[in-house]
Structure 1
Amino acid sequence: MTDVAIDRTRLRLLSPHELRPLTDRSDRHGGLRLAVHVGLIAAGAALVAAGRGTWAVVPAMVLHGWFLVALFAPVHECVHYTAFRTRRLNDWVGWLAAVPSLLNFHFYKHFHYAHHRYCQDPARDPELTPPAPQSVGEYLRRLTAINYWRARLAVADRVLRGDFAAFPFVPDRARAEVRRSMAAMLALAAAVAIGWAALDPWGPVLYWIGPVLLAQPILRAILLAEHTLCAENGDTLANTRTTLAAWPVRLVHWNMPYHTEHHLYPSIPFHALPAAHARLRPHLVHVARGYAPTHRAILRGLAAR
């Protein structure tokens, strides 16, 4: 991490009076957004069904897959316990929503807390393992999600064996819970795949595995834009990027593109992030008008090396 002195008072941009209404969690808001998301997944599945046996099934699978991989957004909210007011709803919805991408909720919770605590610190931020792409080839490989799937398998293998040496961010007291959660997740995923295949041999491929593989690069591109080319220090205003994404992206990703606002105030739930952005916008260092400008800048930098 770059050795710079951070004026922490500069990051206290909202007074307690301003912050209090923005941090109100809501089962109603969470339930409505979850219902919309489930409806989009159902609509995507219907398009896949309508396209079976034709080439139209491929774009339908990509769209359906986008809705599936975007379940990462409610997982992310549930990890912060901001998707719902009821704590148990956050735990159950977050755990189930993570299964389609084989992302274990309990493991990710500790991973993500460490990311917030040490954001953009190359030595301690687990999101920088592996580090940001250093070549065009690494960039393209990152977008294919090959690294993601290898990491998911490696993490599952180590956790099931009780080997947490590579995961110091998981405290000793939580390791048994993470191990049980991982085993349950894999058992559920296997049971669903096997049972589904028994009823419809192509079902898991067309409606789950194929769409998730095809669309995971969309999520990789979104996540790569959150911190790449930002400062490697503890200044949240400088080490994180907000992206002014189109409203469908904000809808499907639960306002996650307002990422600097989230890092500044993780207690603000997804439905209040637009209001937080309106107040914080003058202070933000990195604000991109869509994801394309950020990725063009990344590629220009990599091509110039």
Structure 2
Amino acid sequence: MDHRDLISSIPPPVKARLQRRSNAAGLWHLALYLAGLTATTTCIALKVPFWPVFLMPLGVLLVFLFTLSHECTHKTPFRNGWLNEIIGHLISIPIALPFTWFRYFHLAHHKWTNHPEKDPELAGKPRPDNWPELLIYLSGWPYWTGMAKTLLQNAFGQVDAPYLPAPQHHAMRTEARLLLALYTFACVSLFYTPLLFWVWFCPVLIGQPFLRLYLLAEHGLCPPVANMLENSRTTFTNRIVRFLAWNMPYHAEHHAFPNVPFHQLPALHDWTRAQLLSTSDGYLDFTGEYVRSLR
């Protein structure tokens, strides 16, 4: 059974319930997330005793905003569309991920998941298959340089990727220019105070390897086939990781039925668990398997 047959087999009333969005669920999750960000940021800004120990948790919280941005591209974390738009744009700032551009990039990823040539996440280049490539990938260097190139190209060059619709080119150009102006101002501020370095620049560099390992598990070592239950991995993990990632460790479920909001993915998993073809018992388990696959 592939993902289409599986979703078709779910009774319509259940399917409707699974797709039900909730402002309350989304805002409560976001409030808890922001509380963690605020607490760690405050400890660093006030330089409480042993304040450097908060750099890593702050960095992890910052970089995992990616998963909320991802959810907002699907318009699923909140019932109100304007909430998804505003929050999606705001959280693009600390992670340098232009939201309008990312929406269409990500839609193309869903259409061509794990296709070696057409999936924009691969861009015709396989995932790391040796130690040097893996270490470079985990450093975040390809991500930061890739986003810098994307912002500059969107702002001043030609927006020409086939998955980026022409009517949105102007919005992408405006978005990129605003982000570049903001980042320029942030860099200039470092000449007057190091605060942003300690509560933003340094933490996101520290946190990036954790996000890279998490993302590698979503499709790494999965076959390049059309079945979403096979080309995407569900990773069984603890509540903390599921909280950080807005339940996206249920990734095969998400790809099989993208209209299901994050808070309903555990319920969707009850319908898919027997049919999942790519799973791992935790991220350490997946990482070990991936490392053993390296040349």
Give the shorter-chain TM-score range: over 0.9
- Contact 2:7–2:257 at 8 Å: present in 1 too? no
Shift of 1:188: 2.9
TM-score scaled by structure 1? 0.91
After TM superposition, the structure 1 = structure 2 runs for residues 141-220 of structure 1, keeping only pairs within 5 Å, are 141-165=136-160, 167-192=161-186, 194=188, 197=190, 201-220=193-212
Secondary structure in 2 matching 1:116:
helix
Shift of 1:8: 4.4
Amino acid at match of 2:68: P
Shift of 1:231: 1.1
2:102 and 2:149 mapped to 1: Cα distance? Answer: 14
- Contact 1:51–1:60 at 8 Å: present in 2 too? no
Secondary structure in 2 matching 1:31:
helix
2:40 is matched with which residue: 41, 44, 50? 44
Larger CA deviation: 29-38 vs 107-116? 29-38
- The aligned counterpart of 2:115 is 121
2:3 and 2:206 mapped to 1: Cα distance? Answer: 43
Secondary structure in 1 matching 2:193:
coil
- Indicate whether 1:291 and 2:283 are aligned: yes
Secondary structure in 2 matching 1:226:
helix
1:84 and 1:162 mapped to 2: Cα distance? Answer: 34
Percent identical among aligned pairs is 34
Segments of structure 2 that go 5 or more residues without pairing to the other structure are none
1:35 is matched with which residue: 31, 39, 62? 31
Secondary structure in 1 matching 2:229:
helix
- The aligned counterpart of 1:112 is 106
Segments of structure 1 that go 5 or more residues without pairing to the other structure are 1-5
Secondary structure in 1 matching 2:71:
helix
- Contact 1:100–1:189 at 8 Å: present in 2 too? no
- The aligned counterpart of 1:17 is 13
Shift of 1:164: 2.4
**C-alpha offsets along residues 41-98 of structure 1, whole Å, 9 cap, x if unaligned?**
011113324546x7x3433111111111111121111100001111111111001111
Shift of 1:38: 0.8
1:10 and 1:95 mapped to 2: Cα distance? Answer: 34
Q: CA RMSD in A?
A: 1.9
2:46 and 2:289 mapped to 1: Cα distance? Answer: 39
For residues 47 and 121 of structure 1, do their structure 2 counterparts lie closer, same or farther at Cα, with a shift above 3 Å needed?
A: same
- Contact 1:106–1:178 at 8 Å: present in 2 too? yes
Amino acid at match of 1:15: P
- The aligned counterpart of 1:91 is 85
1:206 and 1:41 mapped to 2: Cα distance? Answer: 13
- Contact 2:3–2:229 at 8 Å: present in 1 too? no
1:7 and 1:215 mapped to 2: Cα distance? Answer: 33
Amino acid at match of 2:249: P
- Indicate whether 1:101 and 2:79 are aligned: no
Secondary structure in 2 matching 1:127:
coil
Shift of 1:141: 1.1
TM-score scaled by structure 2? 0.94
After TM superposition, the structure 1 = structure 2 runs for residues 74-89 of structure 1, keeping only pairs within 5 Å, are 74-89=68-83
Shift of 1:192: 4.7
1:111 and 1:204 mapped to 2: Cα distance? Answer: 29
Larger CA deviation: 6-15 vs 272-281? 6-15
- Indicate whether 1:132 and 2:127 are aligned: yes
1:123 and 1:155 mapped to 2: Cα distance? Answer: 19
Shift of 1:25: 0.6
1:7 and 1:72 mapped to 2: Cα distance? Answer: 25
Report the count of equivalent residues: 294
